[in-house]
Amino acid sequence: MIKRQYSDEFKEQILKECQETGNVALVARRHEISPNTIHTWIKKQRQRGSVKALPKAKDARYKAMEKQLKEVSTENDRLKRLLAEKELELAILRELMDCKNPR
């Protein structure tokens, strides 16, 4: 059995393609990769938030984890703002629907 090393960029490309097609088996066949390998990458991405492994050195690991935490926090804040905007839009639309003549 040959064990290959895939680059992080390649893994991210494969995972993106799986998300777009919604079919892991098809992507695996197209790139001649085992579907189990792709499922392992998906699992690791869900656990870590990325397919990239953390560095072995303790200081570098902490810095990488802090960077990931900052990115996740920033995205979380952005999504909260987006959700608040959508809820406001829905409230306005509901008010307009309740009115007999919205003009």
Q: What is the pLDDT of residues 12-56, one digit of tens each?
A: 889 889 888 889 999 999 999 999 999 998 888 887 766 666 667
CATH of the domain at 17: 1.10.10
Based on the domain organization, do 71 and 36 belong to the same domain?
A: no
The tokens describing 18, both together, are 């799986």
Coil/strand/helix, residue 8: helix
What is the domain range of residue 98?
55-103
The pLDDT of residue 43 is 87
Choosing from 13, 38, 53, the residue where a domain stops is: 53
| pLDDT given for residue 12 in this prediction | 86
Query: Which two structure tokens, joined as six digits, stand for 92?
Result: 């306005």
Query: What proportions of the chain, in percent to the nearest 5, are helix, strand and coil?
Result: 75, 0, 25
Residues 80 and 48 in one domain: no
Domain end: 31, 53, 75, which one? Answer: 53
From CA 90, how far away is CA 26, in angstroms rounded?
A: 39
- Judge if 89 and 63 occupy the same domain: yes
In this predicted model, what pLDDT tens digit does every residue of 57-96 receive, in sequence order?
A: 778 878 888 888 899 999 999 999 999 999 999 999 998 8
| AA letter at 64 | A
